[in-house]
Structure formats: C-alpha cells, structure tokens
Structure 1
Amino acid sequence: MFDSIKRLINWTGTEKKKIYLGFLYSFIKTMFVAMQIMVAALAIDLILRDMRGETTISYTEIGFLTAMIVVSVLGRFIFSYLRAKSQESVGYITAAQERLEIGNILKNVPLGFFEKNKTGELTSAVTTDLSFVEMLGMSQLDAIVNGLIMAIAMSLFMGFYSMEIAAIAIAGVLLSLLFLNLLGRKSNENAPIHQKAQDHMIGATIEYIRGMAIVKAFRQTGVSVEGIRSAYRESRDINIKIEKDYSVYNVFHLLVLKTASVGTVFVSAMLGMGGQMELPMAMMMMIFSFVIFGSVEAINNAMHTLKIIDATLKKLEPIKNARPIDEKGKTVNLSTFDIRFEGVSFAYGEQEVLHDVSLYVPQNTTTAIVGPSGSGKTTLCNLIARFYDVNKGRILVGGIDIKDMTCDSLLKNISMVFQKVYLFRDTIRNNISFGKPGATEQEIVDAAKKARCHDFIMGLPDGYDTVIGDGGATLSGGEKQRISIARAMLKDAPIVILDEATASVDPENEHLIQQAISELTHGKTIIIIAHRLATIKNADQILVVDKGRIAQKGTHQQLINQEGIYKHFISIREQAEGWSID
C-alpha cells in the first residue's frame, strides 16, 4: 500500500508540495473533528450535572460551548476546503503535463516502438488510463492518507482518556490493516490482469471501428463482431473474478472492524456504568471509535482503486522511459543537401530488408526509385527521415551523419508526401498550415494554388474553414493528396521525398498532382518512389531496388539499353499504360 502511495505522490512531480500541504490540512481538520466530539461531550456533562442539581449552567458556559462548536465546525469546513483546493487540481495538472510529455516522447521514438506496442494500448494509456488517474487519484490518496491520520489521531485521543478502550481500538485497526495488506497483495496480482483486459477491449473496439468498411464490403459482420464480443466477455469475466477474490478479504476486514467497534462500545459502557468513567466521557469514547473505524473502512474502499491506479502508473513507465532516437544528436544547421548511403543494412526485427546499400543523391537533382513491391523502396525513404536507425553503415545529409544531429535539425529540411495521406480532423486551413505553423493566410492560399487545390477548396461550403473528417474521410484520394502537397509546399524544405504520390489516383487527379509536384520540386533535392513512366524517365538518376539491394543505377536511356529488371519493368508499364517511349 505504501509503495503505491509513494508512486502516486512521485507521479505528481513538481506538484507534490500541494499533496503534502493537503496532508497537513487533513491533520488540522482531524483536530477540529476531535474538538467537536470533545465539546459535545463537555456539553452533555454540563447538562447532566445541571439536571442532577450539582451545578447551574451559566450563560458564559453556554456562550463558550457555542463558540467552540462554531469554531470547530468552521475549522473543519475551512481546512476541508483548503485540502480540496490544494490537492484536487493536482491530478488534472499532472495528467495534462504527462500527456504532453508522452506526446513529445512518442514523436521522438523510432517507428519500431509502435510496432512493438499496440496502438490500442498506447491510446488507452494516454486517454482512458490517465483520465482514470486524474479523476480518482487524488481523492483515493486523500481517503487513504486522511483515513490513517484520522485513525492514529483519534487513537491517541482515546489513549489519553482510557488505555483499555484505546488498546481495543488499536488492536482492531492493526488487525484490519493486516487484512488490508492481504487485500493489497491480491490487488497487486489482479490490477495488471484488469489493465490487460481493459487494453484488449479498447484495442478490439478501435480495430472493429477502423475496419468497418471492410467488414461491410465482405459481409462479415458476424465474424468481425465475434472478436469484440470476446474482448467484452473477457473483461466482464475478469472483473467478476476480481470482485470475488476481494470479497473474502473485505468480509474479514469489516468483521474485525465491527467486532472492535462493538468491543469499544461495550467496554465504554461498562466503565461508565461502573463509575470508572463519566457517562459523557464514555459516549465520547464510543464516538471516537466510530470515527476511527469509519476511517479505516474508507481506506478499504479506496484500496482497490489505488492498486488499479498503481498498475496504470507502472504501465506508463515503459513509455516514459522510451529513449528518443536522437538522444545523442546535436542541433545542426545544414548548408548543403546531398544524400549519401554508405554500406547501409537494416532489418525489421529479424527480417533484414536492406543489405549493404550504398548510393548518392546529388543536391538539386531528382532520383527515382523503382522496384518490385517489398524490395525496400519505402524503407530507404524512411531511413533518410530517420524514422528508424540503420543496423549497419551510415546515412549522411549535407556531409553529416544523421545520427549526429537531432531529428528537428534533420526533418526541418525534409518535406514528405506519402502515398497514404493522413489529414487531421480539423479545418483545411489548419491541415495545410501544419507544414508551417504561423503561416499567413496569403501563404496558405498561395501554397494551395500551387498545389492545384485552391479551386476545389473554394467550392466547399466553408472554403478553407471546412472541417474534414478523420484522416480526410470526406475528401477524395486526389483531393487529399493535393492538400498534402500544399502542406509540403508551405514547409518549403530543400529535400522532398515523394512516396508513390500518384500511384492510386484517377487520370484527371494525376495530371493535377503532377503539376503540383512540378511546383513543389523546383530547385530541390528530390527522391521519388515512382511507378509512372513519365515520372521515371525525366529523373536525373534511377535506382532499381531488388531484394534490398541496388540492382541497377543510371539514367532512363542508360538502363533501357541494358538487360535487367528495369527494362523488364518498363516493358510491363508500357503495356499497362498503353504507350511506348521513343
């Protein structure tokens, strides 16, 4: 339990001072709670003595007791408020900082990190899991720590008046804490299982929603829904099992508390009836015991949640400890933009996809990369942008090893247009300005015009303020591609990488995209993964990639006159496109 409390407090980072201040306020509030009980006992004692004729209650005593009650109530209210004000915002502040920190970490880790960690688990970690911690973390922490403070303070008060009653109360608390410790161990076992089932359920839900179009197209709603049903059933069964596991410890914990409570009431009554303790004092001891055991019971209720929070924080640790790919890089300002591979080999896991690749892309030239599917073309581009680190060899941009520079130093000089375009659920304006945050309206419009997308944007109901669906779902493939080119144009980087940008669009859109690409690539260092003949034949050099190696290299005219993969590739493309090259 205390390890979990420590982890949660440490999670709050710079906000932990507020947590400790809240604990102090809780302790002071406890003093006012005890004060209320003691003043009430004193009032009852005065009333009984007055009824027996032993004394007469004076207005001074009434005023004093009333003032003490008011002070204790106000003190309890004020310090409860101060505790809440100090602690309740901590969870939300820390969770917001945590999300930003994780976001910064994730954008700097290699893409291989996302292959090892499921999207559903990462999504759950930064959304559902952190929301759970920020909403319940501080309240459960307060319930446990405040409960312990209350139990200890009240036990000390009881010991001051009667060691016998205090001994019973302390024995009850210690025995109940023993069962709480056993419950905590069981919670430690169950919390990761609960977390895993939760992640599986979220992952299955995300996959089901993402694949809805395929499910409908192949009429496999029954088959696909079985996966999500299985995940939901698994979550249900695990939660039921966990509750059953906890029930035994909960029952014994409550049994000990109730037995100890009855014991304190019985002993207090016997001492009162035997004349060893005044009746008001005996009543005060009974109330103290109820407060103590109520506090310990609150600890029990918070324990389950604390363990789930603890498991969540443990789950976040591998993400927070992920090392950025450019950890040893330095800020570099490049002045030249040629690209060189020297003996580069690379593998996804155990599968090597590039083998001892060496190549050179001169500055301000166009290099086309062609080859069969799966030959390593896209991997070459991903390595230039340092989405992954090479296993062997090195890549130089502007004569500098990219491992020696930060990702920001490298990527600020690279614009990429992917075959699979991703647009954010936001306005078209913001999607384009993503290439240059803070761009003026005129710069955005100019980029859109050069990318041949201004006209269709102005035809939309809200123009540049039109909000597009997730991933650009409300636009055609060609429209999305042109917006992505506008984004790259706005960035105006000296190196441009085009990954089969026109591979899957209709002829009309292809023509517009080719015009946009011509605008984008003017005066740049260009690398194009291409299937279209027109794109390939105008390149300054062509690299033919096959089975992870550079099989051929040269211009179109040089390669077309050689027997090999390129000539065969061109022959197939000519037949497919229905024309021949002069």
Structure 2
Amino acid sequence: MFGMIKRLIGWTGKYKKRVYIGFIYAFINSIFTSLPIMLATYGLGLVFDDYKGIRTFDNDQIIYIFLLMILVIGGRFLFSYLRAVTQESVGCEATAEQRIRLGNIFKRVSLGFFNSNNMGEISSAVTTDLSFIEMLSMNMINTVVNGYITVLVMILFLLFYCPLAGIISLSGIVLSALFLYIAAKISDKNASIHQKAQDSIVENTIEFLRGMQTIKAFKQEGVSVQGIRKAYKNHKDVNIKIELENCPYNCLHQFVLKAASVGIIAVSAYLTYTRKMDVNIMLMMDMFSFVMFSQIEPLSNAIHVIEVVNKTLDKLEKIEKADIIDKGGQNIELKRHDIKFSDVCFSYDKKQILNNISFYIPEGSTTAIVGPSGSGKTTICNLIARFYDVNSGVITVGDKNIKDITCDSLLKNISMVFQKVYLFNDTIKNNILFGNPNASDNEVINAAIKAHCHEFISKLPNGYDTIIGDGGATLSGGEKQRISIARAILKDSPIIILDEATASVDPENEHLIQNAISSLTKGKTVIVIAHRLATIQDADQILVIDNGDVVQKGNHLELINQDGIYKNFINIKESAEGWCIS
C-alpha cells in the first residue's frame, strides 16, 4: 500500500514538492487536532478537582483554556486549509499534463500502435482512467499518509501519558495493517480483471454507437446490444467478486481498530479506578482512542481503489513507453520534393505487404498507383507520410532519408486527401483551418471556392460557422470530400497524396471533386491511388502493384502496349465505363 502511495507521489512529477509540503502541514494539523482534546480534558480535570475539593476552581484558568482552544482550532483550520490548497489541485494539474503528453505520443507513434491495441483500452486510458486518478489521487494520499501521520502523533501522546495504552494502539495499527496488506494482495490480483471489464464496457459502447446506422438498417438492435449487456454483467460480477473477497479482511481491519479502542478505554478505566491515573487523563485517552482510529478506518474502503489506481498507472506507463516513430529525428526544411523508394520491405502483423520495391517520383510530376485490392497501394502512401516505418530499405524525400526527419518536418510538406474523410465536430471554417490554423477568413473562403464547396456552404443557415457534427454527420459524402480538399488547398503543401478520393461519390460530385483536385495539385508532386481512366491516362508515371511488388512501371501508352495486369485492368475499366442499360 505504501509502495503504491510512493509511486503515486512519483507520478505527480514536478508537483512532488507540493505534496511533501502538504505532509508538513498535515503533521502540524495533526498536532492541532490533538491539542483541543488535551485542553478540554485538562479543563474538565480542573472542574473535577474543584468538585472534589482538591483545589479551588479558577475562572481565569477556564477563560485562558477557552481562548487557547479558539487559537488551536484556528491553527487547525489554517493548516488544514494550507494542506488543501497545496495538495488538492496537484492531481488535476498532473493529470492535465499527462493528457497533453499522451496526445503528443499518439501523434508520434506508428498507426500500427492503434491497430494492435484495443481502442476501448486506449479510450479508457485517456478518459475514464485519467479522470479516476484525477479525482482520487490526492484523496488516496491524504487518506493514507495524512491519516497515519495523525495516528502516529496521537500514539506519541499516548505513549507519553500511558505506555501500555500506546502499545495497545500500536498493536491495533500493526494488525490492521496486516489485514489491509492481505486485502491489497487480493485487490492487486483482481485490479487487472476490473480494468479489463471497464475497458470492455467502453469498447462495446463505442462499437454500438458507431454501428448504429447498420444496426437500425438490419433491425438487429437486440443482437447488437448483447455485447454491451455482457460487458455490463461481467463488470457487475467482477465488482461483486472483489467485494466478497475483500470483505472478511476489511471487517477484520475495522474489528482490530475497535478492539484497540476498547483496550485503551479498559486500561485507562482500570488505572483511574486504582488511582494510578487522573480522570482528565483517562478522558483524554478515551477521546484519543476514538479520534485517532477514525482517521484510518476508511482505508478498508480505499484499498481496492488504490490497487486499481496502481494498475491504471501501469497502463499509462505502457502507453508512454510506446515507440516514438521519429525519435532522434531532426527538424529539417526540405528543399526538394522528389520521392525515392530504395529496396523497401514492409510487413505488418507477420504478413508481408511490400517486397523490396524501388521506384522514383520526380518533383512536380503525377504518379498513379494502380493494382488489385490489398496489393499494397495504400501502404505505399502511408509509408511516404511515415504513418509506419519500413522494415528495411530507404525512403527519401529530396535527398533526405525520412527516418532522419521529425514527423512534423515531413508532414509539413505533405497534404493527404483520403477516400474516407474525417471531419471534426466543429464549424466548417475550423475544419478547413485545420490545414493552416493561421490562415485569414479570405484565405479560407478562397480555398473553399477552389474546392467547389463555397456555394453549398453559403446556403447553410450559419455559413462557415455551421457545426457539422461528429465526423461531418450533417454533410453528404461529396460535401465532406470537398471540405477535406479545401483544407488541403489551404495547407498548400508541395506533395499531395490522394487515396482514391473519388471512389465513393456520385458522378455529379465526382466532377466537382475532380475540378477541386485540379486546383489542389497544380505544380505539385502528386501520388494518387487511382481508379478513374482519365486520372490514370493523364499521369506522368504509373506504378502497377501486385502482391507487394512493382510489376509494371511507365506511362499509359507504354503500359497499354504490354501484356500484363495494367492492360487487363484498363480493358475491364473501359468495359465497365461503357456499360449501359439498353
């Protein structure tokens, strides 16, 4: 348990000093917590002595005690306040910094990280788990450390007045700590199960909401909700199992503390009865016995939470140790924008995708990449943008190996338009500004005009300030595609990658998008995964990919006169585009 608290303090990073200062305030506060009890019992002792005729009651003494108690209570309030303002916000501040760190890590890891890790686990880590730590980290530290500080201060007072009572209280603390240790071991075993159950809820909920359109279309609401129900039931069963396994040791923890309290009362009563202890000292010890143990009784409820926090930190540390794809890269300004693949191999999840491929894309040229589905076309584009790293071989932009460049330096030179467009739940203007946050309103409008989306934007009730919903839910596929082209135009990068940008749109939108792409690609180095004959035929160079190999290379006229995949591909395309209903 204390090892976990030490780890949690280490997690606070640069705020660690404030946590330790908070402990000092807590120590002083614990003294001020004890003093009112001592003053009250001293005052009662004076009253008893006066009653028994031992000494005369002095009103001034009571006034002094009363004033001193006010001063002590004020001191307790002051140091309690100082501890709170010093420690309490540390969890929020440390969590905010960790969220920023994780965001930066997510930007710099390979896309393979997201494919190989459970999205529910990743989502839970940056939302539920961090919020869990944010809310509970300082509470846990306060409950454990400050609670034991108060207990130890009171035990010191007990040892001074009655060593036997001090030993009884220490024995109770040691025994309760033993039962808490056993409970912590059980919780440590179950914490991973609890986390997996929590992640499963997040993952199934995300999947259910994302698939709502398909669920409704196939009228499978009952089937689809089974995953969520199963996840919720599993989460409930796990929590019940944890509670039942921890319950005996939590009860024993409470029992020994109560027993120690009864023991102190019994000893003080016996010593008072045998005239070996004054009544006021007995009352002080009895009050101490109730107050001191109340500080650590809540630990029985907190022990599982502490272990869950421990596993949460394990998960966050695992993410923070993820391989940064551009580690050691330099911020380099590229002077040229030609692209060269030299003996590039790439595999993913033990499957070979690209086999020793080599090709050259001159600056300012258009290269079309064609081939069967799954042949490696999109992988080539992802490697150019360094969404993944090659297993072997070299990719250069200009004369620079992209492994020697930071991702920011590289991607500053690349604009990408994907087949599947993602727009943020924000205004149209801010989605276009994603290409260049510093652009003016006029530049945004000019980019929209070139992308042929200004007209439909102007017809919207709020124009460029229209909120478009999560993923651009309020727009059609063609409208979303044109907005994505507008932000690429605004970015004005020298290298353009088009991943089948018109593959899923209707003919009218395709015409508008092609015009928008013409504005985007003018004078640029263009790599396009193509399916339209016109795009392929107009390309300066065509790469034919099959099973991870470049099987043909050349322009349209060169390749159409060769027997091979390209000629067959063009024949199929011509047949499909010439097909009509008679």
Q: How does 1:543-582 map to 2 (within 5 A)?
A: 543-578=543-578
For the Cα contact (< 8 Å) 2:326–2:403, is it kept in 1? yes
Q: How does 1:8-19 map to 2 (within 5 A)?
A: 8-19=8-19
Q: How does 1:363-374 map to 2 (within 5 A)?
A: 363-374=363-374
Q: How does 1:345-384 map to 2 (within 5 A)?
A: 345-384=345-384
1:339 equivalent in structure 2: 339
Report the AA paired with residue 377 of structure 2: K
CA distance in 1 between counterparts of 2:519 and 2:451 reads 7
For the Cα contact (< 8 Å) 1:264–1:286, is it kept in 2? yes
1:411 equivalent in structure 2: 411
Report the AA paired with residue 126 of structure 2: V
User: What is the CA RMSD across the aligned residues, in angstroms?
Assistant: 1.1
1:193 equivalent in structure 2: 193
Instruction: Look up the SS of the partner of 1:356 in the other structure.
Output: strand
For the Cα contact (< 8 Å) 1:424–1:470, is it kept in 2? yes
Tell me how far 1:228 sits from its aligned partner.
1.2
Tell me how far 1:54 sits from its aligned partner.
2.8
2:63 equivalent in structure 1: 63
CA distance in 2 between counterparts of 1:446 and 1:35 reads 74
1:25 equivalent in structure 2: 25
CA distance in 1 between counterparts of 2:333 and 2:493 reads 13
CA distance in 2 between counterparts of 1:152 and 1:45 reads 25
Instruction: Look up the SS of the partner of 1:297 in the other structure.
Output: coil
CA distance in 1 between counterparts of 2:491 and 2:500 reads 20
For the Cα contact (< 8 Å) 1:147–1:299, is it kept in 2? no
Tell me how far 1:396 sits from its aligned partner.
0.6
2:290 equivalent in structure 1: 290
Tell me how far 1:220 sits from its aligned partner.
1.8
Tell me how far 1:118 sits from its aligned partner.
1.1
Instruction: Look up the SS of the partner of 1:390 in the other structure.
Output: coil
CA distance in 2 between counterparts of 1:295 and 1:351 reads 58
Tell me how far 1:301 sits from its aligned partner.
2.6
For the Cα contact (< 8 Å) 1:423–1:470, is it kept in 2? yes
Tell me how far 1:454 sits from its aligned partner.
0.6
Instruction: Look up the SS of the partner of 2:298 in the other structure.
Output: helix
Tell me how far 1:375 sits from its aligned partner.
0.6
Tell me how far 1:465 sits from its aligned partner.
0.4
For the Cα contact (< 8 Å) 1:144–1:298, is it kept in 2? no
CA distance in 1 between counterparts of 2:143 and 2:113 reads 38
Report the AA paired with residue 407 of structure 2: C
For the Cα contact (< 8 Å) 2:143–2:296, is it kept in 1? no
1:478 aligns with 2:478: yes
Tell me how far 1:63 sits from its aligned partner.
2.1
CA distance in 1 between counterparts of 2:231 and 2:114 reads 22
2:512 equivalent in structure 1: 512
CA distance in 1 between counterparts of 2:11 and 2:277 reads 48
Tell me how far 1:221 sits from its aligned partner.
1.8
Q: State the TM-score, normalized to the length of structure 2.
A: 0.98
1:248 aligns with 2:256: no
1:537-556 CA deviation, whole Å, 9 max, x = no partner? 11101111111111111111
Q: How does 1:455-466 map to 2 (within 5 A)?
A: 455-466=455-466
2:490 equivalent in structure 1: 490
Select between 4-13 and 253-262 the one with higher mean Cα deviation.
Answer: 253-262
Report the AA paired with residue 247 of structure 2: S
For the Cα contact (< 8 Å) 1:173–1:296, is it kept in 2? no
Q: How does 1:112-131 map to 2 (within 5 A)?
A: 112-131=112-131
2:539 equivalent in structure 1: 539
Tell me how far 1:257 sits from its aligned partner.
1.2
Tell me how far 1:193 sits from its aligned partner.
1.1
Report the AA paired with residue 168 of structure 2: I
Report the AA paired with residue 302 of structure 1: A
Tell me how far 1:256 sits from its aligned partner.
1.1
For the Cα contact (< 8 Å) 1:147–1:298, is it kept in 2? no
Tell me how far 1:296 sits from its aligned partner.
2.4
1:34-73 CA deviation, whole Å, 9 max, x = no partner? 1111100111011111222333333321221011110111
2:224 equivalent in structure 1: 224
Report the AA paired with residue 50 of structure 1: D
CA distance in 2 between counterparts of 1:301 and 1:73 reads 29
Select between 60-69 and 40-49 the one with higher mean Cα deviation.
Answer: 60-69
CA distance in 1 between counterparts of 2:470 and 2:299 reads 44
2:233 equivalent in structure 1: 233
Report the AA paired with residue 338 of structure 2: D
Q: State the TM-score, normalized to the length of structure 1.
A: 0.98
Tell me how far 1:349 sits from its aligned partner.
1.5
1:144 equivalent in structure 2: 144
1:170 aligns with 2:197: no
1:96 equivalent in structure 2: 96
CA distance in 2 between counterparts of 1:481 and 1:444 reads 16
Tell me how far 1:134 sits from its aligned partner.
0.4
Report the AA paired with residue 423 of structure 1: L
Select between 426-435 and 181-190 the one with higher mean Cα deviation.
Answer: 181-190
Tell me how far 1:579 sits from its aligned partner.
7.7
For the Cα contact (< 8 Å) 1:339–1:396, is it kept in 2? yes
Q: Which consecutive residues of structure 2, in runs of 5 or more, have no partner in the other structure?
A: none
Tell me how far 1:472 sits from its aligned partner.
0.7
CA distance in 2 between counterparts of 1:579 and 1:178 reads 81
> Percent same amino acid among aligned pairs?
57
Instruction: Look up the SS of the partner of 1:436 in the other structure.
Output: coil
1:424-443 CA deviation, whole Å, 9 max, x = no partner? 00011110000111211111
Report the AA paired with residue 75 of structure 1: G
1:328 equivalent in structure 2: 328
2:42 equivalent in structure 1: 42
CA distance in 2 between counterparts of 1:261 and 1:283 reads 13
Select between 296-305 and 306-315 the one with higher mean Cα deviation.
Answer: 296-305
Matched residue pairs, number? Answer: 580
Tell me how far 1:85 sits from its aligned partner.
0.7
CA distance in 2 between counterparts of 1:323 and 1:568 reads 42
CA distance in 1 between counterparts of 2:476 and 2:77 reads 60
